[in-house]
Structure formats: C-alpha cells, structure tokens
C-alpha cells in the first residue's frame, strides 16, 4: 500500500509539472491599434526573455487592463507614454530591439 501511494504521489507530481509547463501564458502576439499604425507585439518571444510577468504587467495580466488606469486616472501616465517608456526603455537598456516609430508602428 505504501508503494502504491508513493507511486501515485510521484505520478501526480510529474503530471502537475507537465500541466504547469503547458499553462496558458497569453497570446503569441498582441496587436495594439495606434494612430501611427498598428503595433504587433511578439508576446511569446518576450516571455522567453522576461522571467517575471510583473516586469511589464505591474497590475496583473488581465487583457485590456492597461487602459483601465492609463489614460483614465490622472495619477497614471497615458497608455502611449507608459508603453513607450516600458518598451523603448527596455530596448535601449538591453541595446536590442526597435526604438524608432516606424520600427513598431505599421500602417
């Protein structure tokens, strides 16, 4: 009986690890509509580079949650300003990735 329980626990542990590995981590890419043109953000590629989701999603990962504060709450910067600071700032720090307007915005 002890052997059975040990095996059952081991299988449960391994299955749990497999489920975590295949958890939904959001879309492969995100399209953001902007006046300068649509920005196609390679979300999945960035997940491989950033270990902690809160680096970008400081208030959670709910889709569309950015514009609940940014552009609405006077205490929060406009969404455009927040995105530019976050994205361009990271690209400048890492010396990798686009920083020019037309590099991201496509009409």
Q: Is the pLDDT of residue 16 over 90?
A: no
Q: Is the pLDDT of residue 21 over 90?
A: no
Q: By the 8 A CB rule, do 51 and 39 touch?
A: no
H helix or E strand, kind and range, residue 10: helix 2-21
Distance in angstroms between the alpha carbons of the first and the last residue of the chain: 66
Q: Is the pLDDT of residue 45 over 50?
A: yes
Residue 31 is encoded by which pair of tokens? Answer: 């399209």
- Predicted local confidence at residue 97, as pLDDT: 94
CA atoms within 13 A on the CB side of 96: 3
- Predicted local confidence at residue 60, as pLDDT: 80
- Predicted local confidence at residue 35, as pLDDT: 94
What is the rounded average pLDDT of the residues 37-55? Answer: 93
CB atoms within 10 A of CB 11: 10
What is the rounded average pLDDT of the residues 29-58? Answer: 92
Sequence ranges of the domains in the chain:
27-106
The distance of Cα 19 from the centroid of its chain, to the nearest Å, equals 20
What is the rounded average pLDDT of the residues 57-80? Answer: 88
Yes or no: domain 27-106 corresponds to CATH 3.20.20.60: no
Q: By the 8 A CB rule, do 106 and 38 touch?
A: yes
Q: Is the pLDDT of residue 12 over 70?
A: no
Q: Is the pLDDT of residue 95 over 90?
A: yes
What is the rounded average pLDDT of the residues 84-101? Answer: 95
Across the chain, what does the average pLDDT equal?
A: 82
């Amino acid at each position: 009986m002890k052997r059975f329980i040990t095996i059952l626990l081991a299988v449960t542990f391994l299955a749990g690890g497999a489920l975590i590995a295949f958890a939904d981590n959001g879309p492969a890419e995100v399209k953001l509509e902007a006046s300068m043109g649509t920005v196609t953000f390679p979300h999945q590629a960035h997940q491989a580079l950033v270990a902690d989701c809160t680096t970008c999603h400081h208030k959670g990962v709910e889709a569309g949650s950015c514009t609940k504060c940014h552009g609405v709450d006077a205490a929060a910067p406009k969404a455009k300003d927040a995105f530019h600071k976050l994205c361009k700032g990271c690209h400048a720090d890492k010396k990798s990735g686009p920083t020019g307007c037309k590099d991201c915005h496509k009409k």
